[in-house]
Amino acid sequence: MANIKLMNNRLKFLWLAVLLLTLKTYLLYKVGFEISSENVLQEFILLINPLSSVILLLGVSLFFSGKKRNIIIIVTSFIGTLILYFNLIYYRFFTDFITLPVLFQTNNAKDLSSSVLGLLTFYDLFLLIDLIFLSILLLKNKIPTVQKVRKETMAIIALSILIFIVNLGIAQIERPQLLTRSFDRELLVKNIGTFNYHIYDAVIQSQSKTKRVFAESSDIDEIISYRSENYKQPDQDLFGLAEGKNVIVLSLESLQSFVINETIDGEEITPFLNKLIDESYYFENFYHQTAQGKTSDSEFLLANSMFGRDSGAVFFTQSGNTYNALPEILNGTGYYTSVMHANNKSFWNRDVMYDTLGFAHYFDINSYDVNESNSVGWGLKDKDFFEQSIELLKSQPEPYFTQFITLTNHFPFELGEEDRFINEFDSNSGTLNRYFPTVRYMDYAIEHFFERLKEEGMYEDSVFIIYGDHYGISQNHKKAMSQFLNKEEITDFDTVQLQRVPMFVHIPGHNEHAIKQTVSGQIDLKPTIMHLLGLETENDIQFGSDLFSPERDSYAVLRDGSFITDQYVYTKGACYSKPTGEEIDLSNCEPDMERAQQDLSYSDKLIYGDLLRFY
């Protein structure tokens, strides 16, 4: 006992720093990440889960002696604070935690600067209070200097490991098979802590790197069989309807379905798209299925009918894989394939990935006249983007498949007064308030594009695929969203429903139009486009099915494991009645749970193992 008391006296400064960093982490859980607890045990886990990693992190100081040890304690506390703060900034927009692949996407940093600045607040300075306090104690010589003792170092390491084992044991009781849920990062942080989560993430990422090395040609056989069992025949009346036509795909930045047919102060938010519904096939229950890759994930889903990664972006991590992508397939049928996007060619590694997917040409920022007068937020305004793209379209041989990626409706949703056609919303969220004018501007830009195509005689011989790429308003704006939707609160069920994005198939000259209720997602785009062009997909390895197929299941699975059918919504371990939004017995969702996990795991297996090189 005397030895323990003596050791604790020698380590007072260390224990003080551990206490302050642990409390800061816990407060960030509650205030910054808004992590809730359902019972006392969960709250206890939340309180203790930073402890083991904080002790280990600050315990590095024990390898030093004298004043240097105390300086190292402050330095490691600062490093811990930086880790927390980077996660906080990332979470404010993505409602997610950073993963290693995201950290290595450094060539995106310059383009992301305006978004990051919009996430900083004055209150962030409070994260420095403990560091300032520790520094004052050190400068005033209030902390004694001590020599290093090997037993102390070993004891601290042992204590850290012991606390982690206890923490993990309790967490596993509360949430069985916790460490198999790498896609649910909030659940992991909630149970093992931010710092331990990053260690876990590093292990998971290193394991994924080895999967390609040990993959064998036979690994793809089971997936081929699974695909064959789930293949859906196309609608024979629509098969080949657009054969030989130009295909124009509009990927609409951050557009969610909750704005469709809605108004602000009596003014329609999307008047052109509302009108287009009556002239198109419109899919009302269409969901984005992206994760951390956001727009690039939606592009990957469209091109391959496979899911992106559950962490990071496949555009970065698997850009050297072999794919049977839509652009490459269309190249072989006489189509000229291209992407038009007025951004830096290397952003999201597009210049590399587009070659891999088989695009013949990428019209990047160098193909456009971009200046201060025609730019806002992330770059070239949508109207100017579409206007300048007309000549680029004309320069291409026909038929062509061209994918447009818009920019203006991107966080932080900046817009000049001259382009505001409706008022901002009035809520506690500046982000949501600004969202509606930028959506309205994008709608105006699309209408201008359609008018210009008609003027140039390019409209009638084209087919248009128009969809929202991912959410624009994250879960951090629940209070404001509940106000706009006239709801008392935004539940987990509502959060899933808010992942719906608009989806149009618009075919000039085709007189049949309908609002389709089938539950679907971006993974269904590739087979739908191919069948409209008269191309068979029966031998393709893909996880979507034709949106028009009379055999298709009304079903969509999201990247986090949530899934939706006509009757049920499953998310975060709970089952909901889709018609009512009420939580019901989990057994109702169980028949579809295995299928959702199979879709995700088989897709991951293909990507991580690069299995299409064997096909």
Q: What are the catalytic residues?
A: 295
- E strand map for 332-372: 336-340, 361-363
Cα dihedral sign, 42-47-52-54: positive
Determine the Cα–Cα distance for residues 565 and 553; give it in Å rounded to an integer.
8
Determine the Cα–Cα distance for residues 130 and 81; give it in Å rounded to an integer.
10
Determine the Cα–Cα distance for residues 323 and 329; give it in Å rounded to an integer.
10
3-state secondary structure of 259: helix
Closest CA to 167 of 54, 58, 52, 84: 52
The string of DSSP codes covering 498-553 is TTB--EEEE-TT----EEE---EEGGGHHHHHHHHTT---TTS--S---TT-TT--
Amino acid type, 141: N
* For the chain, counts of helices (H) and of strands (E): 23, 19
Measured CA distances, 608 to 267, 308, 611 (Å): 48, 11, 8
Cα 225 to chain centroid distance, Å, stands at 30
Backbone torsions φ then ψ of 565, nearest 5 degrees: -125, -175
Measured CA distances, 269 to 78, 306, 423 (Å): 45, 32, 10
Assess contact for 346 and 340: CB atoms under 8 A. no
509 conformational bin, left if phi > 0, alpha if psi -120 to 50, beta if neither: left
